[in-house]
Amino acid sequence: MRKVYIIWLREIKKYIRSKSRVIGTLGMPLLFLFVLGFGLKSRISVNNGDYLDFIFPGIIAMSVLFTSMFSGISVIWDKQFGFMKEMLVAPISRTKIMVGKTLGGATTAVFQGFLIFMLSLLMGIRIHSFSGFIVALAFMALIGISFTALGISFGSRMEDMQAFPLVMNFVIMPLFFLSGALFPLEGVPKILRMIALINPLTYGVDALRFGLVGISQIPLWIDFIVLAGFCVLTISVGTYLFNKTSV
């Protein structure tokens, strides 16, 4: 566990020392929150509630998703600068390296989501209950671990640092827009709803909305089973691909 902790701590220190990364990853979620939330709150009512309250959990999920997936670039970065070779020849298994990196990326992602949550409170948004916030925090962690492992899976198979953001955007944007983060799933075309139900992020967004706002379109136990299953799958695939990586 100490070796995993050291890898985790390195990821956290890299994150803390990069002030531009912390600020930069807040930009798009806050833009969505301001432009869509405040711009449309007087025009749109969802489930007889405020549209800003409805999309607020989705924007938190967006922040966690972006930070998680892009943490996979650290694998390519370590390859480019030779640090990965030093880790691979060290007396530590590749599985522990992957787990440490996944937990580090997930921790930073949850922190980014928490920052959006705190800024939302300053904007006047109020949560449903404290127990609901604990539920939301747990699902933020599940989202963070799942998509950090997915990002590391991509990073393990790629060598071009410039191509990584392009591939990630190609994956991230459909995941986000088809997760029900910005619109309710009731009343949408059948094909769109089917795609949303295949999307694992849909269940994370729904659970966050249940915890923070008290609105849910899917039973919470289904949200947990699907997201936990997806988490196990991405960690397994990420571990396999990372063990196959070469420097």
Report the chain's mean pLDDT, rounded to a whole number: 83
Question: Does residue 203 carry a pLDDT above 90?
Answer: yes
CA 162 to the chain's CA centroid: 21
Instruction: Report d(CA 144, CA 229) in Å as an integer.
Output: 14
Question: Does residue 159 carry a pLDDT above 80?
Answer: no
pLDDT, tens digit, 9 for 90 and up, residues 33-49: 777 766 666 556 566 56
**Selection from 16-25, 123-132, 197-206 with the highest mean pLDDT:** 197-206
Band of residue 61 on the pLDDT scale cut at 50, 70, 90: very high
pLDDT, tens digit, 9 for 90 and up, residues 220-240: 999 999 999 999 999 999 888
State residue 227's pLDDT score. Answer: 94
Give the DSSP H or E segment for 49: strand 49-50
DSSP letter (8 states) at residue 161: T
Three-state DSSP state, 50: strand
Identify residue 151 by its one-letter amino acid code. Answer: G
State residue 46's pLDDT score. Answer: 63
Q: Whole-prediction pTM value?
A: 0.89
- Is pLDDT larger for residue 1 or for residue 229? 229
- Is pLDDT larger for residue 8 or for residue 42? 8
Using the structure block, give the residue that is written with the tokens 């070796």: 3
77 and 229 Cβ atoms separated by less than 8 Å: no
For the segment 157-179, the average pLDDT, to the nearest whole number, is 81
Distance from the first to the final alpha carbon of the chain: 25
**Selection from 99-103, 114-118, 145-149, 243-247 with the highest mean pLDDT:** 145-149
Picking from 140, 115, 121, the residue whose alpha carbon sits closest to that of residue 210 is 140
Instruction: Report d(CA 239, CA 74) in Å as an integer.
Output: 15
DSSP 60-95: HHHHHHHHHHHTTHHHHHHHHTTHHHHHHHSSS-HH
Instruction: Report d(CA 206, CA 208) in Å as an integer.
Output: 5
CA dihedral 128, 130, 134, 137 (to 10 degrees): 60
State residue 234's pLDDT score. Answer: 93
